[in-house]
Amino acid sequence: MITVLILTPVGLPVLGALTYLVVGWRPVTALIATGTAAGELAAAVGIAAVVGASGPQVALSGLVRVDALSAFMLLVIGAVGLLATATTPSHLTTEIRAGRASSRTAARHSLLAQAFLAAMTAAVLAADLGVLWIAIEATTIITAFLVGQRRTREAVEAAWKYVVICSTGIALALLGALLLNYAAQHTPTKPGLDLVGLLGAAHSLDPAVTRIAVALLVIGFGCKAGLAPLHAWLPDAHSQAPAPVSALMSGVLLAVAFYAILRVKLVSDAVLGAGFVRALLVVMALASLALAASLLIAQRDYKRMLAYSSVEHLGLIAIGAAVGSPVAMAAVLLHVLGHGLAKGVLFLGLGRLSQTAGTSRIEQIRGVAARQPVLAGCLGFGVLALIGLPPFSIFASELGIARAGFSAGLGWAIAAALLLAAIAGAALVIHMSRMLLGAPAEGPGTATAAPRLPGMTAAVLLAGLALSAALGVSAGPLTDLLHSAAAIATGTP
């Protein structure tokens, strides 16, 4: 029974993908993806309850393993996945009516999106670093077709750029995994790439080989997480992908890639001490924050604006992971969930705005509040949630990361990170306020009678904001899971 529960989060989207492959996309199948995402979230809640009561669980002869950390990531995938899939039917219907897509396009989109969710879920359930690598590589192949879905010159170019850069990063991670496996084969227990086995054999791993392997793994998986220096794919891919896919990529894919870094960090800390990965993460985090802040100031495209904001927030997450204490890691995990919810709301909301306005240029969008007040309100509060204003959860997570960082002696890095985050946040507020407020300008996006926001989309955006605010006030039933996941991520007994 436990095996069925553990495999459900992967099995449901696989069944959904097969359904779209056989039946196609039509009104009767449009909500299947939403149903599978809801089932995946329900299964994640059940898995979290079982893990909290009975500890880590294994399935398929140890190939699949779930502990508090992977259970928390399943909740993130389920929550953001439900937001994205619930708005997908109205998004695709609008695209079909506008002549930018067909039923065949919608079927292909739905199939690939379901496969995308299945691959990310498989990554966090993998008990073996090799299987984890395969699952993350699968996300690259799947999402490349989603990024290039519109088949415009810009979309195809973004898809190829995504494939080339991420393939480079994932190749570095593969080389790192091979080196780590080589080191593992020269230990008495020969654990291979089993994550638990590697921790058990940490005292026998060759430090020199492990150091090179860990550097390659962190940089390689950091590429998929959107961290500098291999971040360049992210703005183009996010700006060209359909809005629900952008929400999944920013809110979930980056987090899953960083989850892989956390697993590698555990092994590295046991073999090399905390200082090695800490130095790597601090450098990558500050570089990412500096790059995002500088490019957000002069940004002219609101989709790319959100993409650079993702680079910024992954930088904050990396700083928290570099601190490495249980308090910092709990804040990091809360930030992962809060960022996923806020970024999901914004990508989905701005995706709707792009459909009605016909442009993604910031200077061509004015007076949204006067024409679409519900959408404008969701976008406004979404930006406030993203920059970390109370009561939203990112405020609590950033405060937790800052307090833990100063306590750990990384005050200089935390101060620099907060300054850069403040610059990025100010740029976001300025750009969004220009679009939402004021009188409509002449040109694209200024229609006086904009289509009404679909009821399901409005409900999803409001639900995402409400959940983010609730988590900022109290983590509630997630508190114990957060602490357990943080303990695992830091190797605390």
Q: What is the pLDDT of residues 76-85, one digit of tens each?
A: 999 999 999 9
**Beta strand extents in 82-125 (DSSP E only):** none
Query: What are the backbone dihedrals phi and psi of residue 64, each rounded to the nearest 5 degrees, phi first?
Result: -115, 135
Q: Which of 224, 320, 229, 230 is nearest to 277 (CA)?
A: 320
Number of Cβ atoms within 10 Å of the Cβ of 111: 22
Q: Is 98 in a helix, a strand, or coil? A: coil
pLDDT digits (tens, 9 = 90+) for 88-131: 999 999 999 988 889 999 999 999 999 999 999 999 999 999 99
- Return the structure tokens found at 133: 């690598």
Comparing 66 with 493, which gets the higher pLDDT? 66
- How far apart CA 69 and CA 358 sit, in angstroms, is 41
Say whether pLDDT at 445 is over 70: no
- How far apart CA 278 and CA 206 sit, in angstroms, is 20
Assessment of whether the complete model's pTM goes beyond 0.75: yes
- How would residue 31 be classed by pLDDT, with cut points 50, 70 and 90? very high
Give the pLDDT of residue 98: 87
Number of compact structural domains in the chain: 1
- How would residue 239 be classed by pLDDT, with cut points 50, 70 and 90? confident
- How would residue 448 be classed by pLDDT, with cut points 50, 70 and 90? very low
Give the pLDDT of residue 443: 53
- How far apart CA 210 and CA 216 sit, in angstroms, is 10
Give the pLDDT of residue 127: 95
- Return the structure tokens found at 382: 């979404």
Q: Which of 218, 199, 192 is nearest to 67 (CA)?
A: 199
**Mean pLDDT (whole number) for 385-410:** 95
**Mean pLDDT (whole number) for 129-137:** 96
Q: What is the b/e burial string over 323-335, where b = at least 16 CB atoms within 10 angstroms of the residue's CB? A: bbbbbbbbbbbbb
- How far apart CA 455 and CA 491 sit, in angstroms, is 45
The DSSP-derived string for 42-91 is: HHHHHHHHHHHHH--EEETTTTEEE-HHHHHHHHHHHHHHHHHHHHHHHH
Least confident window among 9-18, 151-160, 344-353, 402-411: 151-160
Give the pLDDT of residue 32: 95
* Residue 330 CA: distances (Å) to CA of 144, 152, 394: 32, 42, 12
Domain carrying residue 226: 1-490
- How far apart CA 249 and CA 32 sit, in angstroms, is 20
- Return the structure tokens found at 239: 């700006």
Q: Write the Ramachandran bin of 86: left for phi over 0, alpha for psi from -120 to 50, otherwise beta.
A: alpha
Query: Between helices 275-297 and 302-323, what is the axis angle to 10°?
Result: 160
**Mean pLDDT (whole number) for 56-74:** 94
- How far apart CA 66 and CA 57 sit, in angstroms, is 5
Q: Among the residues of 366-454, which ranges form H helices? A: 368-371, 373-386, 393-407, 411-436
- Torsion from C-alpha of 455, 458, 461, 465, nearest 10 degrees: -120
Say whether pLDDT at 399 is over 50: yes
**Mean pLDDT (whole number) for 146-169:** 91
Quote the distance between the C-alpha of residue 438 and its chain's center. 33
Q: Is 493 in a helix, a strand, or coil? A: coil
- Return the structure tokens found at 141: 């192949």
